[in-house]
Amino acid sequence: MASQAAALVKEATDLVGLIGEVTEVRGTGAAAKALCPFHADRDTPSLSVSADKGVWHCFGCGLGGDALDFVQQSQAVGFRESLDILARRAGMDLGPSSVRRTRPQRLDRIRWQTSEFCHQLLRSDPSAARRGMHRSVARDLRTGRARPGL
């Protein structure tokens, strides 16, 4: 059941788009590469993405796998939750068997989403560089900024 759902969800997922939500993917097809979000990947992108095979691999830190593995690594969640996340992303309904999140998992997710949101705010803020915040430092440390009222 879970493996069937996993196959459906992976098929419905655009791996390059998924990885592109976390790190910029350059190139297309078999040559698609990205700076790895899981280690301090500075100049040469070490993470390769094969959209055809639905897999990714980082030659720097050795992490890799499929779309579910990427979600598990990037969002610090388990297999079942990664299945739910990708199903929701693809607009699929996996039914009532979906995981009921425990409170700590929900809090982790909220923390991660908040930090990601603040990081994106900083990345899109042109004044960040003027204030001495180098992009690569901001990326490595996942630094963010807040908006009034946030």
The site for Zn ion (CB under 5 A) is made up of: 36, 38-39, 58, 60-61
What's the token pair of residue 62? 């050795």
Q: Which is nearer to Zn ion, 37 or 144 (CB)?
A: 37
Q: Which is nearer to Zn ion, 57 or 109 (CB)?
A: 57
Minimum Å gap between C-beta 46 and Zn ion is 5
Cβ-based neighbour number of residue 60 at 10 Å: 17
Are 32 and 26 spatial neighbours (Cβ–Cβ below 8 Å)? yes
Residue 114: CB partners within 8 Å, gap ≥ 6?
Answer: none
Q: Which is nearer to Zn ion, 18 or 58 (CB)?
A: 58
Minimum Å gap between C-beta 56 and Zn ion is 10
Minimum Å gap between C-beta 31 and Zn ion is 18
Minimum Å gap between C-beta 140 and Zn ion is 12
Q: Which is nearer to Zn ion, 60 or 65 (CB)?
A: 60
Q: Where are the beta strands (DSSP E) in the chain?
A: 25-26, 32-34, 47-50, 55-58, 64-65
What's the token pair of residue 70? 């990427």
